[in-house]
Amino acid sequence: MSLIEINDATYTYPTANRPSIKNLSLKIEEGKFYTIVGKNGSGKSTLCNMIRGFIPNFYKGKLKGEIIFDGKNIEEYSTGELALKIGYIFQNPFNQITGIKDTVFEEVAYGLENFGVEKKEIIRRVNDVMELTDITHLRNANPFGLSGGQQQKVALASIIILNPDVLVIDEPTSQLDPHGTEQVFKIIKKLKEEKKTIILAEHKMDLIIEYTDEVIILDDGKLLNSGDVNSLLSNIDLHNHGCLIPQTGILMAALEKNGINIENKSIKFNDMLNSISKVLKKEEN
Ligand SMILES: Nc1ncnc2c1ncn2[C@@H]1O[C@H](COP(=O)(O)OP(=O)(O)OP(=O)(O)O)[C@@H](O)[C@H]1O
Ligand SMILES: [Mg+2]
């Protein structure tokens, strides 16, 4: 059984006159790392909200089809129950900040306080998660005085600390520089190693290739395709659907077009480097 199953879902927001998700079916397996890609407005955030159970209960509107979480219709869970199982990180980190805490330390601790965790344990976990997300130096700063990128890391920390089984993360790197972006992918990789199920909406193809297991490609609310990163993201036809193709995917397509067949179809940077080296060595002999 899949952890999450979306069966033929069509969803229209209350104020909209057309659906934002159309006849979408999808299975999410436990412990895998998925990335949702697609151009602006293709429905990535809407799908994230569907997966975390906020559609239709919180957003209202009209949902046809069903979303099954861990064997039960997601509408049958209470909000509190779901919040313990599924952590959600907003596309805009500003929305995540509570506004009632004066320091980053207190902000990160907030969720645990709500669950009545013992003070000593809270301090230990906050220190650990601040270390993991590289915000230890910001512990006494005011959350609203941070840069967008710093706020994104604080938002991530304040969810990771709750230790949910599933993390739904909506464009967590939009305000981060390349170094911060790579850091976030490394944090997500660690979470995956802890057997978390991860659903990320993201644009940065070159990093998606290196870290993700599967991609979910959306186009105008429809599922264009889903599956293994290597085969899907080397298809240059994706350009026509508003997606960037990773550099290694473009190279792979160009080589194949020129009759050079790469044995290993992986478009991860190092795999491609090895494959190309092999081809070159064969030619030398
Ligand atoms: N609360 C809402 N009410 C009405 N329509 C909405 C709402 N949120 C999103 N939409 C519409 O649903 C469609 C999908 O939007 P969504 O935000 O899911 O796309 P996205 O892929 O996340 O875009 P982006 O890359 O800009 O974050 C868009 O046409 C958008 O205008
Ligand atoms: Mg979005």
CB within 6 Å of ligand 1 — which residues?
13, 15-16, 20, 38, 40-46, 91
Q: Which tens digits make up the pLDDT trace of 97-155?
A: 888 999 999 999 998 888 888 999 999 999 999 999 999 999 999 999 999 889 999 99
CA distance 100 to 189: 31
Which string of DSSP letters, residue by residue, matches 97-126?
--SS-SSHHHHHHHHHHHTT--HHHHHHHH
Instruction: Name, in order, each residue with C-beta under 8 angstroms of 151's C-beta and a sequence gap of 6 or more.
Output: 93, 94, 96, 97, 143, 175
Predicted TM-score (pTM) of this structure: 0.93
Name the CATH superfamily, with its identifier, for domain 4-245: P-loop containing nucleotide triphosphate hydrolases (3.40.50.300)
What is the pLDDT at residue 234? 82
- Give the distance (Å) from ligand 1 centre to CA of residue 43: 6
Ligand nearest to the CA of 49: 1
Nearest CA-CA partner of 162 in 107, 79, 84, 49? 84
Ligand nearest to the CA of 13: 1
Per-residue pLDDT of the chain (285 residues; tens, 9 = 90+): 899 999 999 999 999 999 999 999 999 999 999 999 999 999 999 999 999 999 988 889 999 999 999 999 999 999 889 988 999 998 888 888 888 999 999 999 998 888 888 999 999 999 999 999 999 999 999 999 999 889 999 999 999 999 999 999 999 998 888 988 998 999 999 999 999 999 999 999 999 999 999 999 999 999 999 999 888 888 878 888 888 889 999 998 888 889 888 877 889 999 999 988 988 888 787
**What is the DSSP code (8-state) at residue 171?**
-
Q: Taken in order 115, 116, 119, 121, is the CA torsion positive or negative?
A: negative
- Give the distance (Å) from ligand 2 centre to CA of residue 5: 21
Ligand 1, residue 171: give the atom nearest the CA: 27
- Give the distance (Å) from ligand 1 centre to CA of residue 139: 34
What is the pLDDT at residue 261? 82
Residue with tokens 């044995």: 263
**What ranges do the domains of the chain cover?**
4-245, 246-285
Count Cβ atoms below 10 Å from residue 141 Cβ, excluding itself. 17
Residue with tokens 């919040």: 83
